[in-house]
Structure 1
Amino acid sequence: MKISKEGSFYTREYSNLFRELGYPEDEIRQKLDHTWNELFYGTADVRIYHPLDDDKGYIVDTGNSDVRTEGMSYGMMMAVQMDKKEEFDRLWRFAKMYMQHTEGRYKDFFAWHCKPDGTRLSSGPAPDGEEFFAMALFFAANRWGDGPEPSDYSEQARIILRACVHQGEEGEGNPVWDPATRLIKFIPESSFSDPSYHLPHFYHLFALQADEQDRAFWTEAAAASRAYLHKACHPETGLAPEYANYDGTPAAPQPHGDFRHFFSDAYRVAANIVLDYEWFRSDPWQVEQSNRLQAFFRDIEVADYRRYTIEGRPLEEPALHPVGLLATLAMASLAADGPDAEAFVKQLWHTPLRTGVRRYYDNCLYFFSLLALSGNYRIY
């Protein structure tokens, strides 16, 4: 099911696993377009995007009735991949106006969540938003060209990355990459990470487009994250914890909860690993890891997905986002070469978008999986 021994960055070819499994090209395109339309303009129990005023828009976390940098940056990535400049610009204007700090310890970072009217609920950043914002902005610059501020996309991306690396060097605040290990932090003040924040495929591209003096840093960050994921993922189950120390071991319980287990955040680890594989193919371990994870879930029905210890023991709490987990397991087939790869792709194809209150996170992961499995999650 693989088209090349080299990644898409080098070949400019992208795997289309749906087509390889016999789904017609027009049906694949129709499914992708339909899913976009449902998420952005569909019925009230499906859509997650809402326009605001004449020039802004937001993605709502339907389970919490707030707007998060995670969702805003995800929406921008979806829009640039789908060539939807109007929605991209609306999301970016909202984030720029209401979420990005202009001064203080978090200058150029984004308040991680706010109300749909833009009122901030917390000031601190969640760095997965910063890295997705920066990558989406670079892609926008390369796909559509830079315009006047705030549509000078490439410069806006560099402003974010500058803060990620250098915040606090000449004043208050902290960077969101640990200077010693080159690993992304959970928050600027923390001394641990979140494995699902590690996007070495993004850092590889940052090393080509960030400020020249920081390009070596991003090359080192890509290598550090690839090595880190080896440690964070269990060698038998393939499961990763939600939070992990810089040595890859599960982080201690935090005041806001116990995140030592495989749960919602950690679903994204599989998707991040396989997109790195699809784009760069620099680590054969990514194939083994994807096989391990699919094998663990082989005989578990979606309705029975739960929270698990990373050793694989099921806990009482059911998965809050089972469709999102299925989506990342299907996306893992981009790297997997074991007996489960085909089945997970087919299962996702026949699974509809989630409806109801908890749909936001599931359907974001669902759409990213559709993009990747159809060969449409591309480098620009």
Structure 2
Amino acid sequence: MNNFTEGSFYTGEYRNLFLENGLSSEAIAQRLEEIWSDLFYGAPDVRIYYPMDDDKGYIVDTGNTDVRTEGMSYGMMIAVQMNKKEEFDRLWMYAKVFMQHTEGRYKDYFAWHCKLDGTQLSPGPAPDGEEFIAMALFFASKRWGDGAEPYNYSRQARIILRACVHKGENGGEGDPMWDPATRLIKFIPETPFSDPSYHLPHFYDLFALLADEQDSEFWRDAAARSRAYLHKACHPVTGLSPEYANYDGTPAAPQPHGDFRHFFSDAYRVAANIGLDYEWFRCDPWQVGQSNRIQSFFRDIDPADYRRYTIDGQPFNESSLHPVGLLATLAMASLAADGPDAGHFVKLFWNTPLRTGVRRYYDNCLYFFSMLALSGNYRIY
């Protein structure tokens, strides 16, 4: 077990698991800059970021050739963590101009995907985008200070979160992104179920301090309830969770657009989120055992043979669409894990290159987050 007894929020200290596993500070710093360069300015079969006009830029979902709030919010978080203000501001301007609604039932929410030129493909939002955008904006405010609109980052974040919590109140139009009864994040505002990988209690604890003061109690409660929810959504033996789950943690029924009761692409992020929550706040001892369990499940499976699984661990013939992304999240789980597999996944991840080709976007976003987290550079600002 590590010697850190309190989370980074309290100590200001961040573990560097690469350093703990024998890598040099120089090699780690160089690798981080190389990955930034490759993903933002590298070869055509690697990069996922593209500047647009004089003041915009976007992250492309290379598998679908579109722009998603998931990727835009990830790009913004990566940019603020890397102290890259120009790219952050370009991503934010694209999201603000093309994706954020200015009226109607989705006012202040973001259309979840667009064509590369900014034309909206669907008006509806995906709540993981809003929560990541808001957190990235708060961090930008702390790192660089608020500027003129729309670069008054903290005010923009508060507007987004106000809508997420209060939309539809007092007869207003639309639906909130957090279920008012359970205070759990929804899959989309209109659905009565959640997505375990959307649960970011470490963000909500910070929202309690940074969002509207009147909502502080809501965000503190949402953090506590999300942590408790993950106990129910993660299998007690395998550590696997479904992509969509009901508010009681059980897998959600198959949807018109597919069956999401199993451990597949969305669900990979749960392990990473739990690892980061433990690093930042270290307030839930269950997260240690959970991280050990999921690492133990995958310990003897070669990443080339990762598959779709039932949450009790039965494999399908269907291969993982994002094996590098899954490996990245298993490595990030080492922030909480204290079992014999923690170092194994850190080293295996370090020795795995970025993914190239059509499906690289999701894998490499998760890859970058894991590189930041495991090097002690995924920080609270």
Q: TM-score, normalised by structure 2?
A: 0.99
Give the superposition deviation at 1:164. Answer: 0.3
For residues 205 and 51 of structure 1, the distance between their equivalents in structure 2, rounded to whole angstroms, comes to: 30
Partner of 1:147: 147
Q: Is the contact made by 1:3 and 1:15 (CA closer than 8 Å) also made in structure 2?
A: no
Partner of 2:329: 328
- Is 1:119 aligned to 2:100, yes or no? no
Give the superposition deviation at 1:281. Answer: 0.3
Give the superposition deviation at 1:169. Answer: 1.0
Give the superposition deviation at 1:58. Answer: 0.1
1:78-116 alpha-carbon deviations (Å, 9 max, x no partner) = 000000000000000000000000000000000000001
For residues 67 and 3 of structure 1, the distance between their equivalents in structure 2, rounded to whole angstroms, comes to: 42
1:43-80 alpha-carbon deviations (Å, 9 max, x no partner) = 00000000000100000000000000000000000000
How does 1:93-112 map onto structure 2 within 5 Å?
93-112=93-112
Give the superposition deviation at 1:316. Answer: 1.4
For residues 189 and 337 of structure 2, the distance between their equivalents in structure 1, rounded to whole angstroms, comes to: 34
For residues 281 and 94 of structure 1, the distance between their equivalents in structure 2, rounded to whole angstroms, comes to: 35
Q: Is the contact made by 1:2 and 1:15 (CA closer than 8 Å) also made in structure 2?
A: no
- Is 1:360 aligned to 2:354, yes or no? no
Aligned residue type for 1:32 = L
How does 1:142-221 map onto structure 2 within 5 Å?
142-170=142-170, 171-221=172-222
Give the superposition deviation at 1:14. Answer: 0.1
For residues 143 and 51 of structure 2, the distance between their equivalents in structure 1, rounded to whole angstroms, comes to: 23
- Is 1:82 aligned to 2:79, yes or no? no
1:198-233 alpha-carbon deviations (Å, 9 max, x no partner) = 000000000001101001000000000000000000
For residues 183 and 88 of structure 1, the distance between their equivalents in structure 2, rounded to whole angstroms, comes to: 29
1:301-352 alpha-carbon deviations (Å, 9 max, x no partner) = 0010000000000011100000000000011111111010111000011100
For residues 204 and 360 of structure 1, the distance between their equivalents in structure 2, rounded to whole angstroms, comes to: 29
For residues 299 and 22 of structure 2, the distance between their equivalents in structure 1, rounded to whole angstroms, comes to: 22
Q: Is the contact made by 1:195 and 1:269 (CA closer than 8 Å) also made in structure 2?
A: yes
Aligned residues: 380
Query: How much identity, in percent, do the aligned residues show?
Result: 80
- Give the gaps of 5 or more residues in structure 2: none
For residues 24 and 358 of structure 1, the distance between their equivalents in structure 2, rounded to whole angstroms, comes to: 31
1:243-283 alpha-carbon deviations (Å, 9 max, x no partner) = 00000000000000000000000000000001000000000
Partner of 2:266: 265
- Give the gaps of 5 or more residues in structure 1: none
- Is 1:21 aligned to 2:34, yes or no? no
CA RMSD of aligned residues (A): 0.5
Give the superposition deviation at 1:2. Answer: 2.3
How does 1:292-331 map onto structure 2 within 5 Å?
292-331=293-332
Could you list the structure 1 runs, at least 4 aligned residues long, displaced by more than 6 angstroms after superposition: none
SS class of match (1:355): coil
Give the superposition deviation at 1:3. Answer: 4.0
SS class of match (1:296): helix
- Is 1:130 aligned to 2:130, yes or no? yes
How does 1:226-305 map onto structure 2 within 5 Å?
226-305=227-306
Q: TM-score, normalised by structure 1?
A: 1.00
